[in-house]
Amino acid sequence: PASAGACEDVEEHHQLRFSIDYEGTSCHLALAPGDSLYVGRTGICAVKLNDVGISTKHVKLTALRNSDGDHGLRLVAEDISRNGTLLRDPCPSESFGGSTTSAAGRQTRVMESKTPQELRDGEEIHLPARRPNPKAGDVKVHRLVVRLKRPCSPPQQQQQQQQ
Q: What is the pLDDT of residue 6?
A: 56
Looking at the whole model, is its pTM more than 0.95?
Answer: no
- Residue 28's CB: how many other CB atoms inside 10 A? 15
Q: Where in 41-115 does DSSP place strands (E)?
A: 47-48, 59-65, 73-79, 86-88, 99-101, 107-110
Taking Cα atoms as reference points, which of 76, 77, 72 lies closest to residue 14? Answer: 72
- 3-state helix, strand, coil split of the chain in percent (to 5) is 5, 35, 55
10-residue mean pLDDT series, the chain (163 residues):
46 77 95 96 95 94 85 92 94 58 74 93 94 72 90 43 43
With H, G, I as helix, E, B as strand and everything else as coil, classify residue 138: coil
pLDDT at 9: 45
